[in-house]
Structure 1
């Protein structure tokens, strides 16, 4: 096994020219004017637990979605712009949930409703999550996607997306997944998963805070799959569609992230024994910890925290690869071991 290198604060300092300490991108800072004002808090607490954050208090077993907690009729979600009504948000959440369950793609939301922004797309995603929880699924984590510039260019967006992970999305390392059961056009990514031991605040989160809150890192594969009828999506479409996430799997090894350098960690992805690609942890916004800090602060704008016990998928080290029935994918991470999946 390759010797593990201890991660130091200098790994973050080297990337200070590109990223602020709170994990947001310095070259293209998030404009507060693009957010809803005010933004109602939303909680995504898993059943049977509670967590205190700086902006929201969770209610066990319930998603407090601003979309669905408003009164019926034409009540606006955004009081200033009065763009997305409760009726529209609920209808679009229904469409995406039905597309997920029935494997029936729908037209792009952005094409039909070009006035919608990322915050409104996220509220549609919350509505889908609430329907999934009502159908028996349980929240187990959060994810950020499209962290690599090359991948952003492939799908035509210019910033990361973000979404949720449920227990129904997780399968066992080395397991077999039947594509026809739940997916339409799946693709695979290789990621360094972080599993948290403590809850992070909802603002001011730094990469160092993420590292301190992480219990272990693990090799991971994420399966992405769009619920739309075209791959030419916008950031509004992918955020509404739970960041295009479908399934994920964690490798068996559990590694203390303070004992390895996740920035320089190398990953190789193989399909049916043939090497497809390779990448480094630095491909994920400069560091998986920077990426997770960005996610914590972005979700925090909605009062949602990265919580103790969460699986956090911070983004792929390699370009995504299409999946076909009969394929077996293996991702090998230096210092984290292997993770694999077979598709039927």
Structure 2
């Protein structure tokens, strides 16, 4: 799996302009044009620089970082978006919603849901080889999760650089309340089913996430360290989709079943019910 290169052809002015465009879309809830006109489609150094620029804007406004997400880990999702490698984004405290609760639609622009296994770290992943054994030992527990992906780019018209810059197309997320250690549930062996309003819209297995969700965290740990933002104890890690994303809208209800965990549910507020 590839890591970000260390060279970029984008100017600092274009990177700043791209970050401002995305930050405006976040603050207004109005999607923007793709930012690849500013930084290109495949310049990962520039894309992650834009992501850091937006992150700085959000932190300056009071956002608190609580973890990371890995995106584009499933071949099914990669095919949906026309890419061939994973990416990463930042999780903020205000992105988490309780299991069984209602997510206000005014927090989202064009949401899509996916099911995955999430982890909470019990140790830093800063030094050492950051290999499978070290990452596995650093995981305190796992939970089933629903990630609500979103794009600030109008009509999900994204290439790889767009989604990386846009915080890996993150929206909000829901963690199941049933915690399982890796001795209790082996992430690579789980089976997933996701329904919207009772209709199955996605299925998958643990190996769909880069062969093993723990291997996805290995990639994340190494890449995050390379980017100068290593993973630390207490962080939540969304390890990536186990199957295809599905669009959702106002009034929809989502249930995720992952073997070894109790079902996780969430729903979305009806139009006019965002107060």
What TM-score do the two structures reach when normalised by structure 1?
Answer: 0.75
1:293 pairs with one of 218, 228, 251:
218
Size of the aligned set, in residue pairs, is 269
Q: Distance in 2 between matches of 1:277 and 1:149?
A: 13
1:324 pairs with one of 223, 242, 249:
249
Aligned twin of 1:275: 200
SS in 2 for 1:153: helix
Aligned twin of 1:14: none
Aligned twin of 1:61: none
Within the alignment, does 1:35 sit opposite 2:5 as a pair? Answer: yes
Aligned twin of 1:199: 124
Within the alignment, does 1:108 sit opposite 2:34 as a pair? Answer: yes
Q: Distance in 2 between matches of 1:115 and 1:250?
A: 32
Q: Is the 8 A contact 1:202 1:301 kept in 2?
A: no
1:170 pairs with one of 91, 96, 119:
96
2:171 pairs with one of 239, 246, 251:
246
Within the alignment, does 1:98 sit opposite 2:24 as a pair? Answer: yes
1:341 pairs with one of 258, 266, 269:
266
CA displacement at 1:226 relative to structure 2? 0.7
Aligned twin of 1:311: 236
- CA deviation string 1:127-147 (max 9, x = no partner): 111111111110000011111
Alignment of 1:1-344 (within 5 A): 25=1, 29-30=2-3, 35-36=5-6, 83-114=9-40, 117-179=43-105, 181-201=106-126, 204-344=129-269
Q: Which has the higher helix share?
A: 2
Q: Is the 8 A contact 1:211 1:258 kept in 2?
A: no
Q: Distance in 2 between matches of 1:202 and 1:244?
A: 28
Q: Distance in 1 between matches of 2:197 and 2:78?
A: 26
CA displacement at 1:260 relative to structure 2? 1.7
Q: Which has the higher strand share?
A: 2
Greater than 6 Å deviation, 4+ residue runs:
none
Q: Structure 1's 136 and 330: CA in aligned 2 closer, same or farther, altered over 3 A?
A: same
Structure 1 unaligned spans of 5+: 1-24, 38-77
Q: Is the 8 A contact 2:67 2:235 kept in 1?
A: yes
